[in-house]
Structure 1
Amino acid sequence: MDGSELTASSPGSTTTSAGHRHSPSGPAGSRPDGTAHPPGDAPRWSRWVPGLTVAWWLAGAVTALVAVLTGRHLPVGASTPDAAGTIVDSVPSDSLTAALATLGLFGAAHAAWMTSRAARPTTRRVRAAAVTVSVLVASLGVLFADTSLLARMGYLPVVLVRAPFDPELAGAFEQYVAPAFLLQLGVLVALTLLVVTTVLFVRRSSGACAVCGRLDPPTRDHRVPAPVGKTSTTPSGIVAWGLPAAIVAATIPCLYAVTRLIWVLGYPLGLDPEMYEQDAGKLVAPAVGLGLFAVVGAVLTLGLVQRWGEVFPRWVPGLAGRRVPVALAVVPATVVAVAILPAGLSMIKGLLEMPPAEVLASWAAFGPGVLWPLWSVALGVATAAYATRRRGTCRLCGRSPSSATHRVAR
């Protein structure tokens, strides 16, 4: 049975407790009892994100294309000092600008194709091909980012606190509007939009709900719904990976924080002692800021699998006992997961270019970065598991955890 056959009665349709059939991926949707949603009840993001994705990629392609036609180049590559540290920082800027224009046009075309085909049932092979193309495009886009995104996120709390008293740090705000940094930020926004659009395509073209991703649970005769409340106590799918992924995602930044906080205590762990003595004063503030940022991030990561990550604990004034909004946890975790990946790849590239003796002398400065790609993947899985576990009754299709469980279409 291919992805267009979800029930024995009709392709692309689902059966509800009242015997009604509805298309969960439609623009309006209906509840399981056959009644329509109140106006404005269904989330709108699933409708405007695909169009925004096409527009964003097309705008990037036009920007790069104009630069090529006018004999200029974007702030990437060898001739742009601000972009030093990217994986492609040794490639000529003119060539990379042309590559960005091509990648932008291809990404816009791919997003437009998925948007136009999302309403039609497709086979599993077509969906797999679309996902493969999206992964390849995203992999190429990651090449244009470096550690500056993650580093500036980590330094931001220190800059905000100390900038009023330190003129040097006050000038650091200029780095947050530098062309090279804005370009990398724009690329990562484009990649995020493409991922969301791909998920929406897979869900809609397989007959699942575009918002929650649920399909009706299989039953013996495909007419009688699964008994209400009959849910398994054993987590399945990506939810089962949530706990181990969260542990990995919390451990790696702690390893990074340990090295930085040891520097603050006066011990040059993994650093050249002479260099440490010369730069000790300059290392303290950044090490404290980045170390504490990593520890706080690790604690918040554990919240993805803890009770207090779903309900505010008693010691939170004004919010104790209230449910934590899903977006409050998912959005920041997703941003960090996206920023970590290019940072880790850039760190690995830097290590491969260093002489072995220099690597051994300063292993703590770069060593933890080798694990960052794993950190990115683990945090992404933990975040996805959290979002899946926290799904309540869907405002688009009306399915709830007790009446329908997630099933991947085949």
Structure 2
Amino acid sequence: METLTSSWRGYAAAVWALAYGGLGVAWALGVPGFPWGGSDPDPDGALSVLSGTTPRFGWWIAAFALLTMVTALALTRRGGRAPLFVAWPIAALLVLVIPDSRLMMGVAYTPLLLVAPAFGWSLGGATFADAWPWPVLNQLLCVLGGLLLAAAALAYGRGRSHWFTPARGRTAAYVAAVVPLVYCLTRWAWALGIPLGVSREFLAEGEGGLWLAGAYLATFGALGGVLTLGLAQPWGEIFPRWIPGLRGRRVPPLLAVVPAGFVSIIITVAGLTYIRWTVAGRFALDEWGAWLPECFWPIWGAALATATVSYRLRRRGAPYAASSPRTLL
């Protein structure tokens, strides 16, 4: 039963690879929808790692998908470690390298687009189609494939790694809560008219409401940092007393693991994008506030991922203990 339960992840990753490989062949044969290069209408897509490709690149996508499918199927069978050395680089490529910062922006602005009509906000006419164009939705598809392969690799190598200890998870949670505060301070300062890390000329460019949007994102980052602490605190396992109807109940592990895991991906991706932009010379040194805090986001993402995995392993392995007054905040 355990083998069957573990195998479905590999088969799911193989099905994804087969489907995505089919897309690659279709694009190479001239079917519209190639999501990179000149087919990407968003100027922010210019610094994607695949921005210089053409639809003919679809043949390489098909070959990559074939390798992914073979690797995924190998992970459904026990014996040997060779598939892991191939699976993890493929998963990292799909989850962290191919996407760019627009994935985070889509996630960040979706709640704002949902509540904007209730308050009469126009948001410059922005719509969900602007936040989630096909090139960004394609990034979600790539992340899905990478996560399926990573899940298969984790199931295949279960029990071989003892890196994610509770102590390391606690340390990682604190790091993940602190790192985003530098970004938050700059964006809150800009919203208040304080040119922290930028010139006054730069600050004047966002007086039409841009820095308020930045403060909105910063507030989400700070709140996320507070919630991250729950991965290492009792209230992350038992609902605290100030939540009506749930106080004292067990927190479903996936309620914390799924959002924390996804956020760790998108902030890492966004941080790597800013690092690429920095290397490409897009930013000026005297405007460090506009780019330097984001360059630390991969640390934030890695710490959050470590805290999340440690939390999941701890919740899966430890028996549930009844709540006591000390565990309820």
In structure 1, what is the equivalent of residue 108 of structure 2?
154
Q: Contact conserved, 2:267 with 2:297, CA < 8 A, in 1?
A: yes
Q: Does 1:98 align with 2:59?
A: yes
What displacement does 1:78 show? 4.7
Name the structure 1 match of 2:142: 187
Structure 1 residues 191, 200: closer, same or farther in 2, change over 3 A?
A: same
Q: What secondary structure, in the 3-state scheme, does the structure 1 residue paired with 2:193 have? A: coil
- Offset of 1:98 from its aligned partner? 3.1
Distance in structure 2 (CA, Å) of the matches to 1:342 and 1:332? 15
Compare CA radii of gyration and give the structure with the larger one.
1
Specify which of 202, 217, 221 is matched with residue 275 of structure 1: 202
Specify whether residues 85 and 340 from structure 1 end up closer, same or farther in structure 2 by C-alpha distance, changes over 3 A only.
farther
8 Å contact from structure 2 (residues 47, 277) kept in 1? no
Matched, 1:114 2:71: no
SS at match of 1:146: coil
Residue 179 of structure 1 aligns with an amino acid whose one-letter code is: W
The aligned runs of 1:248-327 (5 Å cut-off) are 248-327=175-254
How far apart are residue 386 of structure 1 and its match? 0.6
The one-character-per-residue Cα deviations of 1:338-375 (angstroms, maximum 9, x if unpaired) are 212221111101011126xx422321111111111111
Question: Which residue in 2 is equivalent to 1:360?
Answer: 285
CA distance in 2, matches of 1:81, 1:196: 33
Q: What are the residue-to-residue correspondences of 1:8-19 with 2, within 5 Å?
A: none
Check the 8 A contact 1:311/1:321 in 2, yes or no. Answer: yes
Mark the CA change 1:278 to 1:177 in structure 2 (over 3 Å): closer, same or farther. Answer: closer
Q: What TM-score do you get using the length of structure 2 for normalisation?
A: 0.88
Aligned to 2:45: 84
Q: CA deviation at 1:72?
A: 5.0
Is residue 369 from structure 1 mapped to residue 298 from structure 2 by the alignment? no
| Structure 1 gaps, min length 5 | 1-23, 28-43, 215-234, 394-399, 403-410
What do the CA deviations read for 1:82-106 (whole angstroms, capped 9, x no partner)? Answer: 3615432542223543332222221
Q: Counterpart of 2:126 in 1: which secondary structure?
A: helix
Q: Which residue of 34, 43, 50 maps to 1:74?
A: 34
Q: Does the 8 Å contact 2:110/2:131 carry over to 1?
A: no
Residue identity matched to 2:143: L
TM-score, scaled to structure 1: 0.71
Indicate the RMSD between aligned Cα atoms, in angstroms.
2.6
Equivalent pairs: percent with the same residue?
Answer: 34
Structure 2: state its 5+ residue gaps. Answer: 322-329
Q: Which residue pairs with 1:346 in the alignment?
A: 273
Q: Aligned partners of 1:187, 1:72: CA distance in 2, in Å?
A: 18
Contact 1:77–1:92 (8 Å) recurs in 2: yes
Aligned to 1:17: none
Deviations 1:242-270 (A, max 9, x none): 11111111111122111111111111212
Cα displacement string for residues 104-142 of structure 1 (whole angstroms, at most 9, x for unaligned residues): 221111101211x13xxx2xxx32x32221122123323
